[in-house]
Copies of this chain bind each other. A is one copy, B any other.
Amino acid sequence: MPIEMHPTRWGDPARASALPEATRGLVELVFPVIDRTVGDDEAVAIPTSRLPDEVVAELYGIVGARHVLTDDASRRLRTRGKSTPDLLRARAGDLSDAPDAVVRPGSHDEVQALLGVAARHRVAVVPFGGGTSVVGGLVARRDGYAGVICLDLLRMDRLLDVDPVSMTATLEPGVRGPQAEALLAEHGLTLGHFPQSFEHASIGGFAATRSSGQSSAGYGRFDAMVVGLVVATPAGTVRLGHAPASAAGPDLRQVFLGSEGAYGVITAVAVRVRALPGERRYEGWHWPSFDAGVEAMRTLAQSQLLPSVLRLSDENETALDLAHPDSIGSAGDGPSGGCLMIVGHEGTAATVSARRTAVSAVLAGLGGTSVGEEPGRRWAAGRFDAPYLRDSMLDLGVLVETLETAAHWSRLRSTYDVVSAALKASLGEPAMVLCHVSHVYETGASLYFTVAAPEGDDPLGRWTAAKRAATQAIVGVDATITHHHAVGTDHRPWLEDEIGALGVEVLRAVKHAVDPQGILNPGVLVP
């Protein structure tokens, strides 16, 4: 049974741990540490379920009473997502966004029927997979609705089809990352999608939010892996994708990808898969500066010579190694100062060897220094652990949060500069702003920022102001408001900056066509 996450923290409670003493000492050197440990969150009250009895009865009729959960514990575990504001609200005892019921459909037809009930009774529906949204994607507007249903899709967790000739597989939306890999591994296949949320997030969520994983350099973004979709909407079912590519008008797959539960419930996703790599080799390269490392990434991307994993920490992140609290403050294995790049190759022994030789030659030629496999091993071992560290820091009264963007290469440095400056100016001393590049393309790359700052009297207000300042800076330099975290409610104020007023009108027009009653994830993506 997969872990259901508490609204106050990430992941498996058994894997949470206090910071090592040395690390805690270092944190105390930088930040004013206070005890913000939260107690048993089962003690926190959540609003009473207010779903009308007749609706509950109809839901029973579709999925059976055992799959309609209105108890406090079930609703608590599906309250909001996992942004720092989400955690801060829950830590402060605010679970006011709890759904009125959790409904667990087992099939596409059940989802379709549930949408019919919700539409008739004007009940808001929040599609819910791993619950890992960090953009407010799981908080429905309540005004004007008879209640809010969390549509928990985790029962829909089958591998529906494998086509080893076409190298495609069809998965239900509730299959989580590790389960997808396990199911595909039985056929010698991999999806190759490893976002930080991998251990909890689901296939449907990857599709609905345009997720991108840590191996995107080699395997591509999730939206680029999708060859077909089945979507249940209040207006009916949409089935898309007959071929690897088509010129039959607009690509509607790219309309439902990124639709964030506001256009429908994705009930099946056909993805391109690859052969399970026989070999994985992750190693570290040291660069004298962030700019030098970025230039090397650009060279690889524009030479169509990308490894499977390519990630570059800036000077601050390299020095801190935030993902490895046991080594914070240590000098690391490589030369001191400068920037660490993780270069990972996956494939057959032959392809790994050939690709590694070619990539290494380029990196060495551009001034990089190989620092061996130890940094790669350490990165791989801790690649999904950063959210646990965030919880530990929140327990010490240190606000930790991330945000991300992407820009064309020619504007990447200016984007980095203005966003860093905006975050520092907003958060003041002694805030830390770290950054890495983890997704590269021929024309540009992503920037992923992590901040740490004393939470102060109003941590939520403090972060909201910093996020606003950073996003204004992003918009000002013509970068994207989100590279791989979706719009949700948190980025909605800037959607018009991204796609224009008419673009927003187009999204609304589609919304009205597929969800005329406006019951799907109201308030998310399209106002």
Residue ranges of A at the interface with B (Cβ–Cβ < 8 Å):
163, 165-168, 209-212, 221, 223, 227, 233, 235-240, 242-260, 263, 272, 274-275, 298, 302-303, 351, 354, 358, 405-411, 439, 441-446, 478-487, 491, 495, 498-503, 505-510, 512-514, 525
Q: CB distance A514 to B499 under 8 Å?
A: no
Which chain B positions have C-beta within 8 A of A249? 258-260, 486-487, 495, 498-499, 507, 525
Q: CB distance B238 to A221 under 8 Å?
A: no
Q: CB distance A243 to B165 under 8 Å?
A: no
In the docked arrangement, what's the CA distance between A342 and B344, Å?
A: 34
13 A-B pairs with C-beta separation under 8 A: A163-B410, A165-B408, A166-B411, A210-B246, A237-B502, A240-B500, A240-B503, A247-B485, A248-B480, A248-B482, A249-B495, A254-B254, A509-B512
In the docked arrangement, what's the CA distance between A159 and B202, Å?
A: 43
In the docked arrangement, what's the CA distance between A35 and B410, Å?
A: 60
Which chain B positions have C-beta within 8 A of A240? 499-500, 503
Which chain B positions have C-beta within 8 A of A254? 250-251, 253-255
Contact of A444 among B166, B302, B444, B507 (CB under 8 A): B166
- 15 additional A-B residue pairs with CB within 8 Å, beyond A165-B410, A247-B483, A248-B258: A165-B298, A165-B408, A166-B408, A167-B409, A212-B247, A236-B500, A243-B405, A244-B408, A245-B483, A247-B485, A249-B499, A249-B507, A502-B514, A506-B514, A509-B510
Q: CB distance B503 to A238 under 8 Å?
A: yes
In the docked arrangement, what's the CA distance between A246 and B509, Å?
A: 21
In the docked arrangement, what's the CA distance between A407 and B242, Å?
A: 7
Q: CB distance B167 to A244 under 8 Å?
A: no
Which chain B positions have C-beta within 8 A of A303? 351
Q: CB distance A247 to B258 under 8 Å?
A: yes
Task: Give A509's nearest chain B residue, CB to CB.
Answer: B513
In the docked arrangement, what's the CA distance between A78 and B275, Å?
A: 50
Instruction: Give the shortest distance, in Å, between A322 (CB) and chain B (any CB).
Output: 23
In the docked arrangement, what's the CA distance between A484 and B248, Å?
A: 8
Which chain B positions have C-beta within 8 A of A486? 247-249
For A255, A260, A525, the residue with the greatest tally of chain B CB atoms inside 10 Å of its CB is A255
Q: CB distance A243 to B479 under 8 Å?
A: yes
Instruction: Give the shortest distance, in Å, between A171 (CB) and chain B (any CB).
Output: 15
Q: CB distance B441 to A244 under 8 Å?
A: yes
Which chain B positions have C-beta within 8 A of A167? 302, 409, 442-443
In the docked arrangement, what's the CA distance between A247 and B227, Å?
A: 18
For A260, A358, A491, A506, the residue with the greatest tally of chain B CB atoms inside 10 Å of its CB is A506
Which chain B positions have C-beta within 8 A of A243? 405-408, 444, 479-480, 483
Which chain B positions have C-beta within 8 A of A351? 303
For A256, A302, A525, the residue with the greatest tally of chain B CB atoms inside 10 Å of its CB is A302
Contact of A441 among B239, B245, B263 (CB under 8 A): B245
Q: CB distance B221 to A245 under 8 Å?
A: yes
- Given known pairs A255-B255, A258-B251, A443-B272, the reply for A246 and B502 (CB within 8 Å) is no
- Given known pairs A258-B248, A302-B167, A484-B247, the reply for A502 and B236 (CB within 8 Å) is yes
For A236, A247, A251, A255, the residue with the greatest tally of chain B CB atoms inside 10 Å of its CB is A247
In the docked arrangement, what's the CA distance between A26 and B495, Å?
A: 63
In the docked arrangement, what's the CA distance between A423 and B223, Å?
A: 36
Q: CB distance A244 to B506 under 8 Å?
A: no
Which chain B positions have C-beta within 8 A of A482? 246-248
In the docked arrangement, what's the CA distance between A167 and B514, Å?
A: 38
Instruction: Give the shortest distance, in Å, between A197 (CB) and chain B (any CB).
Output: 13
Contact of A409 among B166, B211, B255, B256 (CB under 8 A): B166
Which chain B positions have C-beta within 8 A of A508? 513
Which chain B positions have C-beta within 8 A of A358? 354
In the docked arrangement, what's the CA distance between A457 and B443, Å?
A: 54
Instruction: Give the shortest distance, in Å, between A499 (CB) and chain B (any CB).
Output: 6
Which chain B positions have C-beta within 8 A of A507? 249-250, 252
Q: CB distance B443 to A247 under 8 Å?
A: no
For A245, A251, A351, A500, the residue with the greatest tally of chain B CB atoms inside 10 Å of its CB is A245
Instruction: Give the shortest distance, in Å, between A487 (CB) and chain B (any CB).
Output: 5
In the docked arrangement, what's the CA distance between A413 and B36, Å?
A: 64
Which chain B positions have C-beta within 8 A of A210? 246-247, 251
In the docked arrangement, what's the CA distance between A350 and B1, Å?
A: 52
Task: Give A239's nearest chain B residue, CB to CB.
Answer: B500
In the docked arrangement, what's the CA distance between A257 and B253, Å?
A: 13
Which chain B positions have C-beta within 8 A of A445? 244
- Given known pairs A236-B502, A255-B255, A502-B237, the reply for A246 and B406 (CB within 8 Å) is yes
Q: CB distance B503 to A510 under 8 Å?
A: no
Instruction: Give the shortest distance, in Å, between A43 (CB) and chain B (any CB).
Output: 36
